[in-house]
Amino acid sequence: MSYDESHFPAPRRRIPRSTLVLSIGALVPAAFAGWLIWQSTGGSDDGGAAQAASSSAAAERPGSPGPEPRPSVSRSSPTSPSASPSTSAPGDDGAPGDARPAPGEGPLAGKVVVIDPGHNPGNFKHTAEINKLVDIGTNRKECDTTGTAGNAGYTEAEFTADVSQRLRTLLRKEGATVKLTHENDRPWGPCVDERAEIGNKAGADAVISIHADGSGAGNRGFHVILPALVKSGGADTTKIVTPSRDLGERVAGNFVRATGSAPSNYVGGGTGLDVRDDLGGLNLSTVPKVFIECGNMRDSKDIALLTSADWRQKAARGMADGISGFLRR
């Protein structure tokens, strides 16, 4: 991840059963494919009840470098984001080129979505600041981390900034009010507790935190992280566990359809879902929120996707369709 802190209902349109079987049968585990096909051919709009195994707070995930936050990638000169940050302040002020319907129009009019681009390119130069401990409800953890990077130097922060801006544009076209937790417009951070607070203060109808993983070579695919039931200290996820699962399952299902990527082969047992209780961004959220790890930056096949602008657009589309389905349910 990524840092930290990081039902499959398909869209309601009907797709011939034979077409789906041919297109996704080779991409996803049999159980997941069968589920997705059932949804696409008239299954319940409430989605399934896929169960992901909870990761312990001591281990970020099987095969990953370590617990959240992930240890910093050792780099002296990180690559700067290929997608230049917007000159507008975080929020819904509008970025150049964003096409949006008139105020109050569009299927998502009146809905607020907060997008949280994982990490910040400046974190590499501010290790003292990001190593400061903050309260995540259950315990204290580092403010943030640098995130991971591909073997050739393409950073997670670079990836998340690009996909977040693509996702913002798509959601605005549907009439949503979209806010970003940051746009690389600050020297470092924000800390994980502040990221959660931004979504809470916005009264967001949905929040998604975008990441890419840094696991071992051969570990492939995406997974969506859902909040566990946590009630400790300042953390209480009681009210968001159920809607967050709905949001996460919709994002995962649409991510498969849009990108052709399979669910993770090393987290979630083929469901593409992982439940965690050790991420401050989820523990401290009072609104529906999920994380998505879009792929593994340390695998040669996954990094080829993550560095493709065409694939990143598909990834943004999958997320947008999942969020839209959740908000229009």
Report the CATH number that the domain containing residue 87 is assigned in CATH. Answer: 3.40.630.40
Decide which of 62 and 161 is more confident: 161
pLDDT of residue 49: 32
Decide which of 96 and 293 is more confident: 293
- Model pLDDT for residues 12-69, shown as the tens digit of each residue: 444 444 443 334 344 334 444 433 433 433 332 333 333 333 333 333 333 333 333 3
Q: Does position 309 have pLDDT exceeding 80, yes or no? A: yes
Q: Is residue 213 part of a domain?
A: yes
Q: Residues near 16 by Cβ (< 8 Å), separated by ≥ 6?
A: none
Q: Is residue 315 part of a domain?
A: yes
Q: If you average pLDDT over each of 13-17, 83-87, 192-196, which comes out highest?
A: 192-196
Question: What residues are labeled active site?
Answer: 293
Show the DSSP H helices in the chain as ranges: 17-24, 30-40, 127-130, 156-173, 192-201, 241-259, 280-283, 300-306, 309-327
Q: Is residue 250 part of a domain?
A: yes
Largest CA distance in the chain: 55
Q: Are 214 and 296 in contact (CB under 8 A)?
A: yes
Report the percentage of the chain scoring pLDDT > 70: 69
Q: How many C-beta atoms surround the C-beta of residue 134 within 10 A?
A: 15
Question: How far apart, in whole angstroms, are the C-alpha atoms of residue 141 and residue 117?
Answer: 19
Its domain, for residue 157, covers 17-327
For tokens 């319940």, name the residue: 44
3: closest CA among 315, 276, 249, 301?
276
Q: Does position 96 have pLDDT exceeding 60, yes or no? A: no
Show the DSSP H helices in 56-134 as ranges: 127-130
Q: Residues near 80 by Cβ (< 8 Å), separated by ≥ 6?
A: 121, 158
Return mean pLDDT, the chain: 79
- Model pLDDT for residues 238-287, shown as the tens digit of each residue: 999 999 999 999 999 999 999 999 999 999 999 999 999 999 999 999 99
Rounded mean pLDDT, 182-192: 95
Question: How far apart, in whole angstroms, are the C-alpha atoms of residue 56 and residue 53?
Answer: 9
C-alpha to C-alpha distances, 41 to 14, 20, 36, 219, nearest whole angstrom: 6, 9, 9, 31
Q: Is residue 72 part of a domain?
A: yes
Rounded mean pLDDT, 157-177: 98
Secondary structure tally for the chain: helices H, strands E: 9, 11
Q: Is residue 8 part of a domain?
A: no
Q: Is residue 10 part of a domain?
A: no
Q: Is residue 93 part of a domain?
A: yes
226: closest CA among 247, 201, 195?
247
Q: Is residue 55 part of a domain?
A: yes
- Model pLDDT for residues 213-222, shown as the tens digit of each residue: 999 999 999 9
Q: What pTM value is reported for the model? A: 0.74
Question: How far apart, in whole angstroms, are the C-alpha atoms of residue 195 and residue 200?
Answer: 9
Query: What's the structural domain count of the chain?
Result: 1
Amino acid sitting at position 195: R
pLDDT band at residue 212 under the 50/70/90 scheme: very high
Rounded mean pLDDT, 133-155: 96
